[in-house]
Chains A and B, each alone.
Chain A
Amino acid sequence: GNSVTQMEGPVTLSEEAFLTINCTYTATGYPSLFWYVQYPGEGLQLLLKATKADDKGSNKGFEATYRKETTSFHLEKGSVQVSDSAVYFCALTPLYNFNKFYFGSGTKLNVKP
């Protein structure tokens, strides 16, 4: 089956620290992979995505690389800001059904000044 596992939070960092949020997946074939972000009081919005192995998605200083060999899509940012405080969700859509999304449980990030 299809599933996404991401590290439990909350993750608390100081401003300008390096961020990694781990995400691994189980899927048949080659899914598309996504990171969504949910700021307080808002809905989820797409942060970045990758559609094939070795692709790197990037946006707003965040990056994630699609690793087929380790079935992973870890989110990284070199220097976090207070405004990055949010809940981050890893997700996938299977190769055969681009409109069926599977979400991880979410990781809350708190960035302190």
Chain B
Amino acid sequence: DADVTQTPRNRITKTGKRIMLECSQTKGHDRMYWYRQDPGLGLQLIYYSFDVKDINKGEISDGYSVSRQAQAKFSLSLESAIPNQTALYFCATSSFEGGELFFGEGSRLTVL
């Protein structure tokens, strides 16, 4: 089983719908991240969390919210999805010492 698991892997939804992407990890890491990948733009940081009580906005947090339910779980929500949120979303983790990100396999979201 993957160390960082994302669900769903693929989702098609309509404009205005609420969507939640979930991430769970078995690496025991404190730090968790949500990134968005668009073709030609690399990865952009949406939110990150250094522990259960610590949530921080990244570069592109508008239109998104997160919840850190436990050390191992970090969810990303789109309260009212819009077409330009169509992208590939990645969850990642790192240890306190840092130095490497461990990624999930990604969640492909299409907003019609």
Binding site for B on A (CB under 8 A): 4, 32, 34, 36, 41-46, 49, 51, 89, 93, 98-99, 101, 103-106
Which residues of the other chain, A, contact B98 by a CB distance below 8 angstroms? 93, 98-99
Known contacts: A89-B42, A105-B42. The answer to whether A44 contacts B100 by CB under 8 A is: no
Are A46 and B101 closer than 8 Å at their CB atoms?
yes
Q: In the complex, A44 Cα to B104 Cα: how many Å?
A: 8
Interface contact B42-A106, CB-CB below 8 Å: yes
Q: How far is the CA of A51 from the CA of B103 in the complex (A)?
A: 20
A-B contact count (CB 8 A): 47
Q: By the criterion CB–CB under 8 Å, are A99 and B41 in contact?
A: no
| Binary A-proximity of B85-107 (CB < 8 A = 1, otherwise 0) | 00000101010011111011110
List, in ascending order, chain A residues with CB within 8 A of B42's CB. Answer: 4, 89, 103-106
Complex: A4 Cα to B99 Cα, angstroms: 17
Whether B43 sits at the interface, judged by CB under 8 Å, is yes
Q: Which residues of A contact B97 (CB under 8 A)?
A: 98
Of B45, B98, B105, the most chain A CB neighbours within 10 A belong to B98
